[in-house]
Amino acid sequence: MEIKNFIREIDDYPEKGVSFKDITTLISNVKAFKFTLDVMEGFISSDIDYIASIDSRGFIFGSAISDRLGIPNILLRKKGKLPPPVISKEYELEYGQDTIEVGKITVPKNKKIMIIDDLIASGGTAKACLDLLEMCGNSVLGIIVAVKLQYLNPEKLFTEPIYSACEYN
């Protein structure tokens, strides 16, 4: 199954020069979504203790995979979305700064974790999540996404592998 056939591309959205990848059409197709989850699940080795999914569309994929495998899911949220106490990590975006947070009571220590998200572009958010989890004493073994925008070279930020069900070159 070609996952790209279920992703709607919108040129010049949200701004001129950007080709937005709309995954709502993928998620709303039961067979395509299941296939995507099957591919993503295949990247997870049996020695993983936790997955960590990124706010907000990463929660869709991360929660489904967490349920399938019986592995706990840590939610990595945008600033102000979690009640205190939280552990935070600020990071740079192409157009400013942002902050990612994790609940202090939900983040483990000394665990092997895979990060899951819907899409990786330049990699800034995923890198901040990885740094945050490692700051808490964990080992991040890789990042799994439904869609990778390879033409933005997200690998430049990581020594850990990035696995994707679908790539745009």
- Active-site annotation holds for 94: yes
Q: Which of 2, 9, 94, 134 is catalytic?
A: 94
Q: Which of 41, 57, 160, 167 is catalytic?
A: 57
* Contact status, residue 48 vs residue 40, Cβ threshold 8 Å: no
* Contact status, residue 116 vs residue 65, Cβ threshold 8 Å: yes
113: tokens are 């974790």
Residue found by looking up tokens 């939280």 in the block: 86
CA–centroid distance for 4 within its chain: 18
Residue found by looking up tokens 């990124």 in the block: 54
Q: Which residues are catalytic?
A: 57, 94
